[in-house]
Amino acid sequence: DSGVTQTPKHLITATGQRVTLRCSPRSGDLSVYWYQQSLDQGLQFLIQYYNGEERAKGNILERFSAQQFPDLHSELNLSSLELGDSALYFCASSPLKTSGRLDEQFFGPGTRLTVL
């Protein structure tokens, strides 16, 4: 158990809908990262928040947005869902601001999103 929690574990929805994925980082970790993992693309970095502020952006679509709240939990909002958005969405947390340094990233169990 990494100490990172994600809800829900599974989510099934229809195209065009909007969903919210939730992540609670390890106690004391200030950074939260969101990743998308699909079968053909592997892990893709979406976005990072540090202490409530956006820190780095990866391959995140405009239909997707995220935020980190004062209690440090984070939410990833996915809207106008398409079939291709079906994937595992992972959240990871770390104590430090910069992932390029030797900080450990601890991954949550993931949310499996299926868009029908």
Binding site for another protein (CB under 8 A): 2, 4, 41-45, 48, 55-56, 58, 90, 92, 98-102, 104-105, 107-110, 112
74 touches 23 (CB < 8 A): yes
79 touches 107 (CB < 8 A): no
* Distance separating alpha carbons of residues 95 and 27, to the nearest angstrom: 9
Tell the smallest beta-carbon distance from residue 94 to another protein (Å). 10
Q: How many CB atoms within 10 Å of residue 111?
A: 21
Tell the smallest beta-carbon distance from residue 59 to another protein (Å). 11
In this complex, which beta carbon is closest to another protein, that of residue 8 or of residue 16? 8
Tell the smallest beta-carbon distance from residue 80 to another protein (Å). 26
In this complex, which beta carbon is closest to another protein, that of residue 16 or of residue 58? 58
How many CA within 13 A on the CB side of residue 54?
11
Tell the smallest beta-carbon distance from residue 105 to another protein (Å). 7
Angle at 62 between CA 57 and CA 66, to 5 degrees: 55
In this complex, which beta carbon is closest to another protein, that of residue 30 or of residue 79? 30
In this complex, which beta carbon is closest to another protein, that of residue 52 or of residue 107? 107
